[in-house]
Amino acid sequence: MRKPQTKYGPKAEMNVVPYIDVMLVLLVIFMVTTPMLLQGVQLDLPKVANEAIATNEKQKILTLSVQANGNYYWNVGTDIDTTSRSDSAVDIDEMASKVGRIIAEHGDTKVLVRADKSADYATVIAGIAALQRGGVTNLGLITEAPQ
């Protein structure tokens, strides 16, 4: 004897469709917001503090300085020289073109950036971004030890 099946009887199955919908909505939210969180200028900063920057005697070093008023000046040589100037620029476009020519001539040039402590942060970052667009791959930051 079979039990007659009723059309509207209780089912022992769990309905998972709403859970799948919620999961897909969360997945879309994370996929949209993640790229917005990843912004900035890519730098290879040293992992160890308080060590001098190692220099290769054959490698050219360009020391870029950013003044408080937004002017840029730099020195090109075989050692780190923060006192002399080989050239200067009053805006970022002029600096990017002049430094770009130097980088094009000497592809393995190491660029070190130093900025006045009262210089605008946006000016310094804009300079670093212009250097990166100009082909600089080897970049460092110069600071002074506290006294």
Three-state DSSP class for residue 143: coil
**What CATH number does the domain located at 61-141 have?**
3.30.420.270
* pLDDT value at residue 96: 82
* pLDDT value at residue 26: 94
Model pTM above 0.95: no
- Give 101: exposed, middle or buried? Use CB within 10 Å, 0-12, 13-18, 19+: exposed
Q: pLDDT tens digits for 76-102? A: 877 776 666 777 777 788 888 888 888
* pLDDT value at residue 94: 82
Higher pLDDT, 102 or 6: 102
Question: Hey, where are the domains in the chain?
Answer: 61-141
Higher pLDDT, 62 or 22: 22
Q: List, as one string, the DSSP characters of 30-65.
A: HHHHHHHH--S------SSSS-PPP--TTS-EEEEE
Q: pLDDT tens digits for 16-37? A: 888 899 999 999 998 888 877 7
* pLDDT value at residue 48: 44
Quickly tell me which residue has 């200067």 as its tokens: 88
Higher pLDDT, 6 or 146: 6
Q: Is the dihedral of CA 125, 126, 127, 131 positive or negative?
A: positive
Residue (of 75, 43, 44, 72) closest to 60 by Cα position: 75
Region 122-139: mean pLDDT is: 84
* pLDDT value at residue 120: 83
